[in-house]
Amino acid sequence: MKKILLLLLALLSANSWAVSLKASADKLAQETTRIGFGLALFGLVLSAIYFMIGRQDAGQKMTQALLGIFILMLAPSIVTFVKGLA
């Protein structure tokens, strides 16, 4: 009975949940970045197609796609900077 009680106390402690939540959040951040780069690549290809067919807003789409890629590449540095402020 004591072993079960100790096991429950270990599982319900704040430290064990914090570790698993942090690991889950880190994994989610990695997957989100991967999905973001896929969407950014799609936007870049789409804006290149707009340039080839001569659409008027092709320059704006290309600028937005490149700015999105730039922000995605800097995201880890931005997060580290914000964590350093706290």
Can you give the residue ranges of every domain in the chain? 25-85
Angle at 69 between CA 68 and CA 75, to 5 degrees: 85
pLDDT over 90 at 46, yes or no? yes
Closest CA to 47 of 71, 74, 69: 69
pLDDT of 65-74, one tens digit each? 999 899 988 8
Tally the C-alpha atoms within 13 A of residue 64's C-alpha that lie toward its C-beta: 11
Average pLDDT over residues 53-75: 91
Which pTM value belongs to this model?
Answer: 0.62
Percent of the chain with pLDDT over 90: 31
Q: Supply the mean pLDDT for the chain.
A: 82
